[in-house]
Amino acid sequence: MGGGDPVSGNEKSGWKMSADGGAILLSYIPPSFEDGAAFGEPPADVGEKVAEMRENFRESELVMKRLLADYNGKMGIKVAGEIQSVMTFEKLGKDVASIAYSGEGLVDAIEEVLMDDKLVRELTAKGAFAEGDQATPPREVFERLYGGSVFEIRFVPGQALFDYRAEVVQGECGNDRRFQKSARRGGEGERGRQGIS
């Protein structure tokens, strides 16, 4: 996933790749307030912010459900090897895993978090519902949305799916043959016939 190091991570996305014995572990763990994760700026009055979020949710719940009614799907990941185990994902084949999402599930997850008084107050006090670019969805929201908060695929690397070396050799030979064929026809192509150098 990273540029040069095959066992690395993408810091922006939060996904990590690490060696795990003879296998590779591809994982993502969302931040949690329990881990002291840095969320956005906390509000001055937690109770007021919670009441405001609940009111906004109630006012927009029906609209959200209608807008997101058809927002369903699966995100699939294909790995270059054989999957040994998954967490939160569903294994679909020897090298494919997926995770399902739905608009209704998203609305339900938001409602569940907002109506859990202790949880929503703790998250709000940590700035988990800050507005703008600084906002980061906490792990507790992922748990309710996907039924888990640790996303892992452990796989044993297989053979390369594409033989780059053979393709380069074939490409070089192919170019050489095309050049020889053009030369046998007695020309250097269109540019040579027009005197263009």
Predicted confidence at residue 8, as pLDDT, reads 41
Nearest to 115 by CA among 189, 23, 51, 68: 51
Predicted confidence at residue 3, as pLDDT, reads 36
Strand order in the sheet with 16-20: 16-20, 23-28, 151-157, 81-87
- Looking at residue 151, the DSSP 8-state letter turns out to be E
| pLDDT at position 26 over 60 | yes
Predicted confidence at residue 38, as pLDDT, reads 58
Residue spans of alpha helices (H) in 6-158? 46-67, 103-115, 117-125, 139-146
Specify burial of residue 169 (Cβ count, 10 A radius: 0-12, 13-18, 19+): exposed
